[in-house]
Amino acid sequence: MREELRNNHLLAGADSDLAARLRELIEARLLHELRDLVVSLPEATVADLLAGLPVEEQIVVFRILPHDHATDVFEFLDTDAQVALLNSLGSDRVAFFLNEMAADDRTALFEEMPTPLVRRLMGLLAKDERIIALSLLGYPEYSVGRLMTPDYLSVRPEWPVSEVLLHIRERGSLSDTLSVFFVCDEVGLLIGNINVGDLLLADPTSTADTICDKNVVVLHPQDDQEAAANLFHRHGRPVLPVVDAAGILIGIVTMDDALEVAREEATEDIQKLGAVAALEEPYLKAPLARLIQSRALWLVVLFVGEMMTASAMALYEKEIERAVVLAVFVPLIISSGGNSGSQAASLVIRAMAIGEIRLVDWRRVLRRELASGFVLGSVLGILGLVRIAIWGGTFNTYGPHWLMIGLVVMVSLIIVVLWGTIVGSMLPFILRSLGADPATSSAPFVATLVDVIGLIAYFTVAALLLQGTLL
């Protein structure tokens, strides 16, 4: 870990030096040296360096870069930076970038733009690229159709390996990936796929249909993007084909796009687990009003829920007056229930997100959580009883009835923790069955639901066990 932190520090220092050198060359207008420096760096590194520069200085770099290199760097910029550049560059340069961008990356960019700007930029596309762009934007938002690219290589099943290799040499530069090729018949029906490693090791006289893998995992354009990302994880494929209802190959989705979807979904789930509406932009770039709005609604909902907790305590005002010591353990009881519920919710939501459990598994999950909740509640209950016994028996902290108070706390903890695990584990199933996002059952929301029942259980147990003594 120490070595990793050291390496990260060195990388950060190197990037800082490069950024300073880049700005120095721009200010001095040493364009030849600037070009040589930028071309020698990886495209992703250049994009990171440009992100810290004003748009005017970014434009200088893009104007001196070779066209192909500039397009690669442009695709690595975040959406806000791309939009700012498109608004500042001349029409010819914008048209070049848009026509040379990968179709899926261009679709992602258009999704973030206002409709009038998209219409204007569509007019800069070549006819073929405009047809592709309109086709991809025609699919539902968050569908695989928005994610796929039509830039792939397909070969005919009767072609020998030698002809396949020749086709790759001639057309490979037009494909989004060269790791996998697809075998299709004369009408485009998908037959199988060929990994590049299998192709290179195959007998040159073999035909494509004899070396292809016919057990192909396919996607459909209407599929949800998150489901597609789960398929990548489950099958470990670098590329998945997209076919229409007739099985005709119409595009592909690559691993990098699936990883981006997984990152966005994970970010959204984490934000919802913290009772925050999902942000569509980075934290530091999000307007302050948007940050407040994303948190205010949930805070109000949770505040109203906690009012129910206050109302529940008011119901037992007489019991608290007779035995003030009961109030001491209220935070302990309700926090334990909320914590156990949050744990169960987090585990179930994550398992749902990666496809480990489905709606039909709710009974199995309930049985496991009943057992887990009882054991965990018993552990906490025994610890609570031991703690009260030590303080009560040694220092007489809780009066002569400390043992009964300890039993109340122990039984209450078992009930509350068990209830918390049930609520936390079952609420995601309920939300999913209603068509809502399970991540909405955030940790604070579960804790609020558990608090009220926890208080009722605690004071009910106290009323039963302390009758005739403290109450």
Q: Indicate yes or no: pTM above 0.75.
A: no
Residue range 154-171, pLDDT digits in tens? 999 999 999 999 999 988
Residue range 259-274, pLDDT digits in tens? 888 777 777 777 666 6
Q: Band the pLDDT of 360: cuts 50, 70, 90.
A: very high
What's at 108, amino acid-wise? Answer: A
Residue range 187-209, pLDDT digits in tens? 899 999 999 999 999 988 899 99
Token pair of 36, please? 């040589």
**What pLDDT, on the 0 to 100 scale, is given for residue 3?**
38
**What pLDDT, on the 0 to 100 scale, is given for residue 321?**
76
DSSP single-letter state for residue 284: G
Rounded to the nearest integer, the mean pLDDT of the chain is 84
Cβ atoms of residues 399 and 455 within 8 Å: no
Phi (first) and psi of residue 401, to 5 degrees: -100, 30
Residue range 23-39, pLDDT digits in tens? 888 888 888 888 888 88
**What pLDDT, on the 0 to 100 scale, is given for residue 414?**
96
Comparing 236 with 378, which gets the higher pLDDT?
378
* 155, containing H or E segment: strand 154-155
Average pLDDT over residues 140-167: 91
**What pLDDT, on the 0 to 100 scale, is given for residue 277?**
65
**What pLDDT, on the 0 to 100 scale, is given for residue 11?**
37
Whose CA is closest to 369, among 377, 360, 379?
Answer: 377
- Chain position carrying tokens 């700007």: 117
Whose CA is closest to 408, among 365, 470, 352, 354?
Answer: 470
DSSP single-letter state for residue 195: E
Look at residue 6 and tell me whether its pLDDT is greater than 60: no
Average pLDDT over residues 90-119: 83
SS3 193: strand
What's at 293, amino acid-wise? Answer: Q
Q: Band the pLDDT of 17: cuts 50, 70, 90.
A: confident
Angstrom CA distances, 414 to 313, 330, 343, 398, 409, stand at 20, 14, 16, 21, 9
**What pLDDT, on the 0 to 100 scale, is given for residue 312?**
75
Residue range 264-320, pLDDT digits in tens? 777 777 766 665 666 666 676 777 787 787 777 777 777 877 787 777 777 777 777
* DSSP β-bridge partners for residue 195: 180
Is the C-alpha dihedral spanning 51, 52, 53, 54 positive or negative?
A: positive
Look at residue 74 and tell me whether its pLDDT is greater than 90: no
Average pLDDT over residues 246-261: 89
Q: Rounded to an integer, what distance in angstroms lies between the CA atom of residue 83 and that of residue 225?
A: 24
Q: Band the pLDDT of 109: cuts 50, 70, 90.
A: confident
Token pair of 181, please? 């090729």
Q: What value, to the nearest 5°, has the Cα angle with vertex 183 and ends 181 and 189? A: 130
- Chain position carrying tokens 């899926």: 104
**What pLDDT, on the 0 to 100 scale, is given for residue 116?**
77
Most confident among 70-84, 222-236, 373-387 (mean pLDDT): 373-387
**What pLDDT, on the 0 to 100 scale, is given for residue 276?**
63
Token pair of 276, please? 């925050």
